[in-house]
Amino acid sequence: MYMPTHFACQDPAQARELIDSYPFATLASSTAGAPMVTHLPLTARQRDGSLVLSGHVARANPHWEMLPQAPTVAIFHGPHGYISPAWYPSPGLVPTWNYAAVHCHGAVSLIEDRAAARVLLEELVAHFESPRHQPWEMRLEPATLDALLGAIVAFEMRVERVEAKFKLGQNRVAQDRQGAIAGLVHEHGEPELIALMRRFAG
């Protein structure tokens, strides 16, 4: 990822916060032919000092066959939005797009064991259901659950390298950063982007 110094986030905690807040990722693998790309939710945890991402793809999706052998990156997209030069007090500037993204590069291993795959599914469900007042639980009939497990391929990625880019106007002077924030607020821009800009470039 192209990474100007002023946009690089070197804090692992901030990168992890974005991953946890925006878990719907783009999984891309480099192959001899065309790149393989899948969009999917991933969960993250620390294990033995490493960041590990967990998820699953449909068995009908050929991407899973590439995962153990192809260089793979999981891309997490944070808040983003258009920035108009009309919001800057300084003259001569041009439009841009502010955003935050984290790239996780690593080695993928498939989870072949049905019992382990079931545990992964239960953990995914529990993770995303937990904010709900009455969380749904994966209490399926054995035949239904067996068919479900047969239709997916679970996997883990042990992250070897993280790139975190927070392009939020840090390269602008203070009055232009504040003008961009005010412009987004006035024109009802993305509130999560506004909050991130205030935090990193306000």
Mean pLDDT for the stretch of residues 17-40: 93
Reading across the β-sheet that carries 24-29, which strands appear in turn? 36-41, 24-29, 72-83, 96-111, 152-167, 50-58, 43-47
Q: How does residue 122 score in pLDDT terms, banded at 50, 70 and 90? A: very high
Residue 33 reports pLDDT greater than 80: no
Angle at alpha carbon of residue 68, lines to 78 and 153, rounded to 5°:
75
Structure tokens at 95: 């439009």
Query: How are beta strands 152-167 and 50-58 bridged, if at all?
Result: antiparallel
The pLDDT mean for the chain works out to 95
Confidence (pLDDT) at 78: 97
The Cα–Cα gap between 183 and 177 comes to 10
Strongest mean pLDDT among 31-45, 91-105, 128-142: 91-105
Confidence (pLDDT) at 196: 95
- Scanning the structure block, which residue is given the tokens 């066959």? 65
* % residues pLDDT > 70 (the chain): 100
Q: Where in the chain are the domains? A: 5-114+154-201
Confidence (pLDDT) at 31: 81
Confidence (pLDDT) at 121: 94
Structure tokens at 183: 């412009």
CATH code of the domain occupying 5-114+154-201:
2.30.110.10
* Stated pTM of the model: 0.93
Mean pLDDT for the stretch of residues 95-121: 96
Distance of CA 148 to the CA centre of its chain: 25
Polymer length of the chain: 202
Rg of the chain taking only CA atoms, in angstroms: 20
The torsion angles phi and psi of 138, rounded to 5 degrees, stand at -85, 70
- Scanning the structure block, which residue is given the tokens 């232009």? 176
The torsion angles phi and psi of 179, rounded to 5 degrees, stand at -65, -40
- Scanning the structure block, which residue is given the tokens 């001569």? 92
Residue 85 reports pLDDT greater than 90: yes
**Is the separation of the CB atoms in 71 and 151 below 8 Å?**
no
Confidence (pLDDT) at 201: 77
Tens digit of pLDDT for each residue in 176-187? 999 999 999 999
* % residues pLDDT > 90 (the chain): 92
